[in-house]
Structure 1
Amino acid sequence: MSHPLLKELILHFQMPWYVLIPPILVLILAMFRVSILLNLGIGIVLGTLFAVTLQGDSWLSVLRSLWLGYDFQVNGQVLLHGGGIWPMFNEVLLIVAAGALNGVMEESGMLHTILDSLLQRIRSKSGLIGVTVLLSISMSLLACNQSLSVIVPGRTLRSTFEKLGVPLRYLVRSLADSGVVVSPLIPWNLHGILCSTAMGIPTLVYFPYAFFLWGLPIITLLLAFRPRRCPSNDVGMSN
């Protein structure tokens, strides 16, 4: 037996094979790295045309769905709900506020001042990688932005890596394995907001199942402090 929701969709909507063209086209354009704004814009335009011409919706109802979201109701019961610009307005305001905070922290250089005293005490590669991981995750927590979790630690720690003779690939790898992947797990981080909004699931709900996101920083720290001999091209560094 087919799912009740599928039955209702078949009864209330025209569903020929070519209704799949908009989502398939969006995926194809994403594979070819087309600009996300252009990609989504094409998907919205095609979806609107299909709704008006194939499903018989009015332009006014389509515009209402774009702004307020779409509700599919049967006998007064909402079976599908989602989308819309207005329901995401709170998230947009949070993104704007986070962007303003990022600008203040970046331009004031406050983090550089705080970290100078800490960086002077680092003498080993393991300690440097550990500080990089923790700093990147801290930036994701404080700055609410995935980009700053890379930019600020990268700029701040690059000179220390070069001074201690640690190849910069360790810096890049540590940043990629920490703040970048942890961002979707932070409810107030821009990346976390986008993921949570897109899936309709709070970050704390999908957190336990995102093994890769919280497991990778742990593995990186364990490998960094694992006793082992450094490669010959890692000049003058010990664990």
Structure 2
Amino acid sequence: MLSSRQLGLIVALTITGLGIAYGFSIPLVYGFMVGLLTLIMFSLQAGSSWSILMRSMWEGVKHTKEVIWILGLVGILIPTWTASGTIPYMIDQGLAFIHPGYYLTFSFVLAAIISMLLGTSSGTLSSVGIPLIGIGALLQIPLPMVAGALVSGAFVGDRTSPFSSANQLVAASTGVTVKQQFQAMLPTTVGALIICFAFYAAIDVNGIWHANAHVHLEMQFVRSFAYSLWLIVPVLVLLSSILLRLRTRYGFLLSIGAAVVTGSVLQHVNMADWVQLMWSGYHPAAFPALKTKGLSSMLELMALIALAGAFNGILEAGRVLQPYMQKLLGTTSGSMFAATVRTALFGFGLALVACTQTLPIMMTGRSLMPFWEERFPRSQLSRVVADTSLITSAMVPWNLLAIVCGTIVGVPVEQYVVFAPFLWALPVCTLVWSIRHRERRVQHAL
């Protein structure tokens, strides 16, 4: 077992390494390696063997393979959608139908609706986020604002939809049903949605794009692409596959295949060009706005996610954190507000170190459930975990959840997070509701 001093050093070195790498634009892999190597060294000193560590790391990597697949396929999907004409077509059609005066509000609401149906942030951002980002750029709306609206909407479903794997994981980790969890989350969900709607409506009304809403933009790309309704097939394929609950990677692969077929027929892209743009990205000289990255630009991020999986594998297999759980969290003998604060801080700390969304949800829910049950309903723990551990991972720049979102919308998390109130309003709402819950308990006792 690692000592508290060793564990503290691992946490400090991991966060410091990632922070320095991020601040100086050094590949995050190098920054994360500092913490991972320290964890390996201390684990060996504590008596673990190389074979056990390697097995633990491999198990951890296997748990992240779906995210690695998604990230790599996003690097292929975006350039294929662009070269096939799908994204240019959707942008031009969107310019004709979307009212620019309330663009941020529209983007948030549409992303929220789609995410509730799909139950996935990555699928939502890929299917509707990419074209909406392109339209926002042409309307000269700051892209961090558009990205924030899209990410906020995407996480409405990622957290709340019964089809969301994250939502189901919270329920399973806290020992409640999805229905019980939804009822417990409803007050904070409504509060966060009201805050988001008011936030985007206020920005829209005061934005220059609202004053210029009467300006009509002509189609931008019609002269260079052959347009047809067939161009929306890749998007429909992706949406349909997710609605049918196929694994996300298969939906991406099917959509890429559909884009290649339509692009080959309508835009006459040959196979050699497809291979080149899938690897290097799409770089049209005539339209810099359509420039995209390819698979090669994703390799570093895919390696980071694999290393994060290895890190988590050691933590889970060695039960490194469990001996310190009660000491770190104390007891729930105080108010629900105090318990909520400790739970939120612990989940955020795990998000900083583990670089995943899964580990904070699982460890916070499973480890705290015995303490919460002493005084509070399990459903309230599920509400707190959903409003903190699930959401705050998306605000950590080196967390794989934030990396995937930022990669799809093309805007780093530190730029859009201010404009994504659903992420930071939920923790506030859940703290307020915990205070109100305590007050209601006191009034009931009187």
The answer, yes or no, to whether TM exceeds 0.5 is: yes
- Residue deviations 1:37-91 (CA, integer Å, cap 9, x gap): 11111100011111222211110100111111111212xx634111411011111
| Mapping 1:25-104, distance limit 5 Å | 25-74=237-286, 78-104=288-314
- Which residue of 136, 141, 166 corresponds with 2:376? 166
Q: Does 1:182 align with 2:392?
A: yes
Indicate how the Cα distance of structure 1 residues 221 and 57 shifts in structure 2: closer, same or farther if over 3 A, else same.
same
Matches of 2:347 and 2:224, distance apart in 1: 50
- Look at both structures and tell me which one has the larger radius of gyration over its CA atoms: 1
Structure of higher RCO (CA pairs closer than 8 Å, 6+ residues apart)? 2
Task: Provide the rounded CA distance (Å) in 2 between the counterparts of 1:116 and 1:2.
Answer: 60
| Contact 2:284–2:290 under 8 Å retained in 1 | yes
2:425 equivalent to 1:225: no
Where 1:140 maps in the other structure, the secondary structure is helix
Task: Deviation per CA, 1:134-164: give whole Å up to 9, x if none.
Answer: 21122111211100111111121111122x1
The structure with the greater share of residues assigned to helix is 2
Alpha-carbon separation, structure 1, partners of 2:359 and 2:443: 32
Q: Kindly state the Cα deviation for residue 110 of structure 1 after the two structures are TM-superposed.
A: 2.2
Contact 1:125 1:166 (8 Å CA) reproduced: no
Percent identity between the aligned chains?
A: 27
1:138 alignment counterpart: 349
Contact persistence 2:357–2:389 (CA under 8 A): yes
Task: State the one-letter code of the partner of 1:144.
Answer: C
CA contact (8 A) 2:230 2:262 kept: no
Secondary structure, aligned partner of 2:283: strand
Q: 1:140 is aligned with what amino acid? A: A
Unaligned runs of 5+ in 2: 1-215
Q: What is the CA distance between 1:172 and its match in structure 2?
A: 0.9
**Whole-angstrom distance in 1 between the partners of 2:328 and 2:415:** 35
So what's the TM-score if we normalise by structure 1? Answer: 0.87
The answer on whether the counterparts of 1:73 and 1:79 sit within 8 Å (CA) in structure 2 is no
2:203 is aligned with 1:19: no
Please state which structure has a larger fraction of its residues in strand: 1
Q: CA RMSD in A?
A: 2.2
Alignment partner of 1:128 out of 339, 355, 380:
339
